[in-house]
Amino acid sequence: MTPDFYTSDLHFGHANVIQYSSRPFSNVAEMNDALMKNYRNAVGSKDTVLWLGDCFLCPPELARNILTQLPGRKILCLGNHDRSAAAMARMGFDLVTDAVTLNIAGRTVRANHYPYVGTSSREVDTERSELPWPTRRQEEALLHGHTHSQKRRDGNMIHVGVDAWDYRPASSPEIEELVRSVFGA
């Protein structure tokens, strides 16, 4: 399985993320509408989207309603703000897991919500040792969310959060290009 699109940290229904991440929206309804429109403009009904966590911070009924309006097959790697795997599956995700390993551009790529352990930025709380921070491996690339950074690539980490992708999913060709750049290809 190679996804057609990648996304993370949409935070549907989360008013505080607008200020926290300097999102260009005046309220939650405007943010939710823009995220949904951008998603639908990119993703088709036959596409597969890998979500890397932190999808909804709203009641499950609203989350389910939003998710049913978004096309494509949806695979979720759980984030720190997501509900249990069973709850997220009930919302409408086709598959829910903690992490996946992919082959992108001939390279091993791990994908999960978290950046590498020891990553330092104002957005990443590496003091919380209970979170499943992956260990850095030089021979692979890591797709992640969590940071809300606008930076798409940092060494061999590729951030797929909407804050780095103009509030839309990143396409497979865009991610392939970044994976190639990690390895100088």
Q: Mean pLDDT across the chain, nearest whole number? A: 91
Is the pLDDT at 142 greater than 50, yes or no? Answer: yes
CA–CA separation, 5 and 122 (whole Å): 27
What band does 50 get if pLDDT is binned at 50, 70 and 90? very high
Give residue 124's pLDDT: 47
CATH number for position 41: 3.60.21.10
What is the tens place of the pLDDT at every residue in 68-89?
Answer: 999 999 999 999 999 999 999 9
CA–CA separation, 23 and 26 (whole Å): 9
Who wins on pLDDT, 125 or 164? 164
- The three-state DSSP-derived secondary structure of 8-52 is ECCCECCCHHHHHCCCCCCCHHHHHHHHHHHHHHHCCCCCEEEEC
Bridge partner list, 170: 6
The residue type found at 111 is A
3-class SS at 123?
A: coil
3-class SS at 172?
A: helix
Is the pLDDT at 122 greater than 80, yes or no? Answer: no
Average pLDDT over residues 16-22: 96
3-class SS at 134?
A: coil
Burial 85-102 (b: 16+ CB within 10 A, else e): eeebeebbbebbeebbeb
Do 17 and 23 touch, CB atoms closer than 8 A? yes
Q: Give the range of the structural domain holding residue 11, as residue numbers without chain letter.
A: 5-182
Tokens of 10: 């949409």
Please count the structural domains in the chain.
1
What is the tens place of the pLDDT at every residue in 87-103?
Answer: 999 999 999 999 999 99
Which of left, alpha, beta for 5 (phi over 0: left; psi -120 to 50: alpha)? beta
Can you give the pTM of this predicted structure?
0.92
